[in-house]
Amino acid sequence: MYVPKHFEEHRPEELHRVIREHPLGILILNSANGLDANHIPFELNEENGQAVLLAHVARANPLWREAKDGDEAFVIFRAANAYISPNWYPSKHQFHKQVPTWNYQAVHVQGKINIRDDEKFVRAVVARLTRTNETRSGQERPWKMTDSSKDYIDQMINAVVGIEIKIEKIVGKWKLSQNKEGLDRSTAASELQKRGDTLTSSAMLATLKPSA
């Protein structure tokens, strides 16, 4: 990924936040059958200083048979993103030297994949993913695995295979108009806010803060 210096994001806490808040990643593998991409929700786990992505795929998905333990894996996560019109920059109306662009936040993760076809691991991953996302959904009574019969859950667990990716490299790109003047950035963010895109607007405004 091409990352100009003013768009670099190095803070681990910010990179991990994006993964946690936008967990649907694109897992890319290069197997004997060529490049393959799968859209998978991940759980980020951090233990003993090692960040790991946990997930599962359907047993019917050929991914887990084609991938070998230790194969290179590439996962893409994306957060805020929006089209930016030149008309939203005050300087455009003064100097007429702005062009359209697209702002976004992206995190690229590289690491080695391990296929975990063991019931205990899969059950733990499913439980973690369920707990995290049911809590995030804001329900008064989040769904739990015990809400269904043991036989049914056992059947569902048997129908999936676990995946573990130990993160070896993580790169973040926050392309949020940092190469523009402050007034242009804040005005463009306000225009997005008016259009209901609070996520991208807030991300852009955060880059204006001295602590960012």
State pLDDT tens for residues 137-152: 988 899 999 999 999 9
| Residue 147: partners with Cβ closer than 8 Å, 6 or more residues away | none
Report the pLDDT value the prediction gives residue 31, as an integer from 0 to 100: 84
Q: How confident is the model at residue 210 (pLDDT cuts 50, 70, 90)?
A: low
Domain boundaries, given as residue ranges, for the chain: 5-180
What are the phi and psi torsion angles at 189 (to 5°)? -65, -40
Specify the CATH architecture of the domain 5-180: Roll (2.30)
Indicate whether this model's pTM tops 0.85.
yes
Name the nearest CA neighbour of 65 among 119, 94, 29. 29
Distant-in-sequence contacts of 119-123, Cβ < 8 A, 24+ apart: 119/157, 119/158, 121/162, 121/164, 122/56, 122/157, 122/160, 122/161, 122/162, 123/157
Report the pLDDT value the prediction gives residue 211, as an integer from 0 to 100: 43
Identity of the amino acid at 142: P
Counted residue by residue, the chain has a size of: 212
Helix 119-136 / helix 150-158 crossing angle, nearest 10 deg? 110
Name the nearest CA neighbour of 163 among 76, 32, 71, 46. 71
- Assess whether pLDDT exceeds 80 at residue 212: no
